[in-house]
Amino acid sequence: MFARSLNKIFNQKPQKSTICQLGNPVLREIAQPIADVRDRDIQQLIDQMLVALKENKGVGLAAPQIGRSLQLVIIASHPNERYPYAPQMEPTAMVNPKIIAHSMATS
């Protein structure tokens, strides 16, 4: 289903999405878990986020950044002006992601 969404989204003319900026209250909310990733509304949200990622030439986008307080993020990687040697990675949706390990190191 997700692969079909990718082809559909990247072959259509994108519509401009609004990205929430610092100070928007939705960015401070605790995002809600997603119960069923197959839900039509969730699939449409993933499609919308793929369009937003493409039109903003982004490498990552979380649902709260487009005004939806849900535990959903899309990550991707591609060479760009800032990171010309970045690896090429197709967009990947992560639903209800959890941090399972971390380092105590800081920069």
pLDDT tens sequence across 36-60: 999 999 999 999 999 999 888 889 9
Residue 95: band (very low, low, confident or very high) from pLDDT cuts 50, 70, 90:
very high
- Contact status, residue 52 vs residue 61, Cβ threshold 8 Å: yes
Any domain includes 34: yes
* CATH number reported for the structural domain that contains residue 42 in this entry: 3.90.45.10
* Predicted TM-score (pTM) of this structure: 0.76
Let me know if residue 106 belongs to a domain.
no
Q: What is the pLDDT of residues 74-92, one digit of tens each?
A: 999 988 888 899 999 999 9
Domain that holds residue 27: 2-10+20-95
Mean residue pLDDT across the chain: 85
Number of domains forming the structure of the chain: 1
> Rounded to an integer, what distance in angstroms lies between the CA atom of residue 73 and that of residue 80?
21
pLDDT over 70 (residue 8): no
**Among 46, 35, 52, CA closest to 92:** 46
Say if residues 2 and 38 touch (Cβ distance below 8 Å): no
Percent of the chain with pLDDT over 70: 83
* 3-class secondary structure per residue, the chain: CHHHHHHHHHCCCCCCCCCCCCCCHHHHCCCECCCCCCCHHHHHHHHHHHHHHHHCCCCEEEHHHHCCCECEEEEEECCCCCCCCCCCEEEEEEECCCCCCCCCCCC
Q: Which amino acid is at 12?
A: Q
